[in-house]
Every structure is written in C-alpha cells, then in structure tokens.
Amino acid sequence: MTVIRLALQSLKNRWLTALLTVLAIAVSVVLLLGVEKVRTGAKASFANTISGTDLIVGARSGGIQLLLYSVFRIGNATNNMTWRSYQQIANRPEVAWAVPLSLGDSHRGFRVLGTSQAYFDHYKYRQTQSLRFAAGKRFDDLFDAVVGADVAAELGYSVGDEIIVAHGIGAIITAKHDDKPFKVSGVLAKTGTPVDRTVHVSLEAIEAIHIDWQDGRPIAGGQISQDDVRKMTLRPRAITAAMIGLKSKISTFKLQRYIAEYRREPLSAILPGATLYELWALIGTAETALLIVSVMVVITAILGMITMILATLNERRREMAILRSVGAGPGTVVGLLLSEAALLTLAGVVLGILATYGLLFTLRPVIDSLYGLYLDISPPAAMEWLALAAIVVGGVVAGLLPAFRAYRQSLADGMSVQS
C-alpha cells in the first residue's frame, strides 16, 4: 500500500501529464467500445432489415440475388413470377398472409415498389417494429404514393406534392410516365432499411401507368388518360417477388420444397434471415478493419503512456535517489513505476467506459433518427471485458520498460550516494 500511496502522490505532482495520458487511454477505450457497439448494432440492424417474414418467393435464381432485389432493391430479377402462381401459393393452407412486390420503375434515382395495403401491415424490421408514418397516410387513391424517409429528405417532399415516375432504373431515363403523375399521400418514418429509399405505390397503379405502353415505350396514338384508366379493371399479369408469412414455422421447409418443385414455372423460396447472414458474411469484412483500427489506437495510447513515463525519468533521478537513500530498494522503485502505469491505465479504462455509455445515452436517439442505426445499451459483453482487461494488463506490462530503466538508474545513483 505504501507503493500505491507513493505512486498516487507522484502522479499528483505531475497531474497535467498524467491527466493527458489518462485521457488518451480513455479516448482509445471509447473508440474500442464504440466501434464494437456500432459493429454489433450494424450487424443486428442488417440482420433485422426484414423480420417476421418466413419466406421470400421469386423467379428461380440465387438466394442472395433474390434477397438483393426484393429487399434491398439492388439489381433486377432474372424473370418475373406470374400472378396466377402468386395467388396459388398465397392460397395454400399453410400461408397466413402474402404481400406481392413489383419492381421495375424509378423516381429520380429511387426505386418504385408496387405492392398492396398488406405491405404496411406485415413488413417488420428490428424483430417487431412496424412501419410508421411521419406524415400523411397509406395510398388509397389509384395515383397515391407513399415515400420513404430518405426520399422525402433528399427531394424535399411532403404530403400533397406531385411526383413523376420514370420507366426503368437506368442511369439515363428517357421515358417518363408524365401523363399519369402521382401525389404523395404519406411519408414513412425513418427505419434504417431500404424502405427509406423507396417510393411505394399500389400494384394497380403499376398496371395503370403501363396500360398504354408496349415493349418499354408508349404506344403511338394510344395514350389513355387518368380518368379513363380509373374505369378499367387493373389486374397484374406478373410480379417480381412476394413476401410470405406462415401460420406455423413448422411448415416453412414444407412450403419451400413445394415452391422449389413447382411445375408451372421455375421459382425459388428463401429464408430471409439465413440469407441475410450469408450476405453479411460477404460484406462484413469492414467490421474487421474497424476493429483493427481501434486496437491500433489502444496500442498508440499505451505507447504514449510509456513515452510519458520514460520522458520524466531523467527529471525524477533525484526523486529515485532520495527514495534509495531512505532505504527503498530497487524493487520499491520498480513497483512505483509499475503502480503508476497500472493506475494510469485503470483510470483511463474506467473513464473510457463511463464516457462510452454517456455518449450512447446521449447520441442513440440522434443516430437512430438520422441513420436508422439502433445501438443497444447493454453491459459490455464477455469479449469486451476481456479486451478491457487486456488493456489494463498491457498497460502494466508496458510499464516494465521504464521500470527496468528506473531500476538500473536508481541502483547506480544509490551506489554513488553511498560512496
């Protein structure tokens, strides 16, 4: 305990450099824990992009490809599935609900999704979160559109604004459905999912804007007005994919096998949760890079502590000599330096933990609303505790170098004093 008191008094006399060292270690701990929280939060948010959906059905293709275009609106389907096949699957006794998805058009760089009212009832994210409206309501008119939070923010849309849907999703759009404009009926709250970057319209609206089109372009002289198209029976011939919810999870693989063996057309059915983790394994290398960066920052902070202790050794030779002269052995000098390193590291770790959770409580609502990233405020996991313990041990071990140097200097100085 005498050594600890000496270490505390010594650090008190050099409080400014000690404080800066503690702050450096604390910042490195904040970065380490912060990166881990962001990493686990991003992984959880990614895995929970879509929840509560048992199967996603589409034309036969790779599972990741089906997931990319149906959930993330990336790329295009190799083919569509017929409306008749969709209805036959949706009417199966195992199926509790089904939501059709139709893609192919865009609006100023954002994908347009044709779907049904059931989409707003059954699309879930973060396990149980449902879609909420920041303003307005669902589409109920044929030419109503519901826009995601990012669409509204980037394009400055609000309820009542008029938008024009373009045909196709290429970089250069030459054909627009400007004869049939849509009106924004609602703006969805931020979700942190691809929903934020999507314009939602009804399936009937998708059929309406293409009623007078053929082979990807308007029929010459065959334009049909909005008023006339409202009088027509608009029934889709095909859709891009469908989300399926089952009455019992036990039926999942049974229905998946039925769809894989479906004879009318080649179809695929994927489990979105499993495919999301498969996709994360392909793109999740960034989390490793972030972890490496945070570890390097921790090492840099510990090296800074070593530098600080070494830099003050020459100034403290007299202090060491006095300690030797009053009977302190080399072991006491070594213990003093190791105690200082341990106290600095431990104080930095404790301050870093407190700062991390303070920032989490303060910034979590802001990060959630701006980026849709939900950061879980929970005690450090076992691996995080091990990392923190490793930092403390590393700080003590790092203190061995200046302690050994102080031992040699104090021994020599002590011998010169005795002579």
pLDDT, tens digit (0-9, with 9 covering 90-100), for 6-31? 677 777 777 787 888 888 888 888 88
User: Tens of pLDDT along 57-115?
Assistant: 999 988 999 999 999 988 888 889 999 999 999 999 999 999 999 998 899 889 999 99
291 and 309 assigned to the same domain: yes
242 and 350 assigned to the same domain: no
At 215 the pLDDT is 64
Structure-block tokens of residue 131: 């879609």
At 328 the pLDDT is 60
295 and 266 assigned to the same domain: no
Reported pTM: 0.74
232 and 297 assigned to the same domain: no
Per-residue burial over 118-134, b = 16 or more CB atoms within 10 Å of its CB, e = otherwise = ebbebbbbbeebebeee
CA distances to 20, 68, 101, 169, 266 from 82, in Å? 67, 20, 12, 21, 11
Measure the CA–CA gap between 376 and 312, rounded to whole angstroms.
42
Give the phi and the psi of residue 182 in degrees, each rounded to 5: -105, 160
Mean pLDDT of the chain: 83
User: Tens of pLDDT along 201-250?
Assistant: 999 999 998 887 776 677 766 778 888 888 888 888 899 999 999 999 89
Give the end of a domain, one of 270, 301, 330. Answer: 270
Query: Has residue 279 been placed in a domain?
Result: no
At 137 the pLDDT is 95
Give the end of a domain, one of 242, 270, 298. Answer: 270
Query: Has residue 358 been placed in a domain?
Result: yes
115 and 141 assigned to the same domain: yes
112 and 195 assigned to the same domain: yes
Give 114's strand partners. 102, 201
201 and 143 assigned to the same domain: yes
CA distances to 83, 101, 307, 367 from 90, in Å? 10, 13, 69, 38
Q: Please state the domain count of the chain.
A: 2
Is the CB of residue 47 less than 8 Å from the CB of residue 277?
A: yes
Query: Has residue 31 been placed in a domain?
Result: yes
Strand 144-147 to 166-167 pairing: unpaired
Query: Has residue 209 been placed in a domain?
Result: yes
Query: Has residue 121 been placed in a domain?
Result: yes
Of residues 293 and 330, which shows the higher confidence score? 293
What's the pLDDT band for 317 if we cut at 50, 70, 90? low
By residue range, what is the domain housing residue 347?
2-46+284-418
Query: Has residue 276 been placed in a domain?
Result: no
Give the end of a domain, one of 270, 293, 316. Answer: 270
At 415 the pLDDT is 47
Query: Has residue 278 been placed in a domain?
Result: no
321 and 364 assigned to the same domain: yes
389 and 307 assigned to the same domain: yes
Query: Has residue 277 been placed in a domain?
Result: no
